[in-house]
Amino acid sequence: MFEKVAIVGEADIVFAFRALGVKVFSPQSLEEARKIMEILEKENFALVFLHESFFELLEGEREALRKKFCPVVVGFSDHRKITDYLENMMREMAIKATGSDSLVKRRG
């Protein structure tokens, strides 16, 4: 039923994931990213990794999908930086899943 995994982001970041069997999408515009999110919902993807460059811009689409069982949309950052927004969202997801934010606490 829900068994596919996708990654959405800039081509230079996500291209290598094809070798792992992940469906890769590299939108060139916000409108194209919105269309991809619709496709991912219709094609019964289980998990979608969404690069932070689109994460905040697609908040409405993510919120609509959040009410559904699948796909689960998880943000990710690359080696260049991590935003506070993404970190806070991951903390909220960890608390919902485990009751604690110990999985995402900063070390240092």
Closest to 7 in 3D by CA, of 77, 60, 63: 77
Q: How many Cα atoms are found within 13 Å in the side-chain-facing hemisphere of 41?
A: 15
CATH topology assigned to domain 4-98: Rossmann fold (3.40.50)
pTM: 0.71
Confidence category of residue 105, pLDDT binned at 50, 70, 90: low
Residue 8 tokens read as: 């959405």
Contacts of 65 (CB under 8 A, 6+ apart): 37, 41, 71, 73
pLDDT digits (tens, 9 = 90+) for 13-59: 888 888 888 999 999 999 999 999 999 888 889 899 999 888 888 98
Contacts of 36 (CB under 8 A, 6+ apart): 8, 25, 27
Q: What is the mean pLDDT of residues 64-71?
A: 81
Domain-by-domain residue ranges, the chain? 4-98
DSSP state of 106: P
